[in-house]
Amino acid sequence: EGGEEESEEEEEEGDDPAASWAPKPGSLRYDVLTALHALSGSAREQAGVGRDAIVKHARENGSAITRGDDDLALYRQDAVTVLGKEKRALVPLWLQEDARYVLTPEGRAAGRVQPTGGEGRQGEQDSDRKRQRRA
């Protein structure tokens, strides 16, 4: 009886289980995941996406505020750290092979998760601040 209540409660909390471990908008991990989604195509996904392409895309299109906003070398260090630490995540969203990265099934699912509440707006505000700092 108690088990049934728990499973019903879990279903009511959210339709998409990926929402619990998907990165938050405005984080560098989110920007890296977004870059991987943007750069992964059906043919290229087999070979993975190169580290430099991910870093470039995340820096140009991401909303995370990092110590490397004004310094490409620092930004690259932070992004490479995020890329490398993923293998220790409870639910890894990408796999690394040398300097190339491939989305896991969970990573593909996490990319489809839509931010809820004010999270999406926070990412927009961070992007605006980031653009102003660069100008």
Using N-to-C axis directions, what is the helix angle for 28-39 and 51-61, rounded to 10°?
120
The whole-chain average pLDDT of the chain stands at 77
For the stretch 105-116, pLDDT in tens is: 999 888 765 554
For the stretch 5-36, pLDDT in tens is: 433 333 334 455 556 788 999 999 999 999 99
Higher-pLDDT residue of 110 and 56 is: 56
Instruction: Return the structure tokens found at 104.
Output: 């896991």
- To the question of pTM greater than 0.75 for the whole model, the response is no
How high is the pLDDT of residue 114?
Answer: 53
SS (H, E, C) 32-90: HHHHHHHHCCHHHHHHCEEHHHHHHHHHHHCCCCCCCCCCHHHHHHHHHHHHHHHHHCC
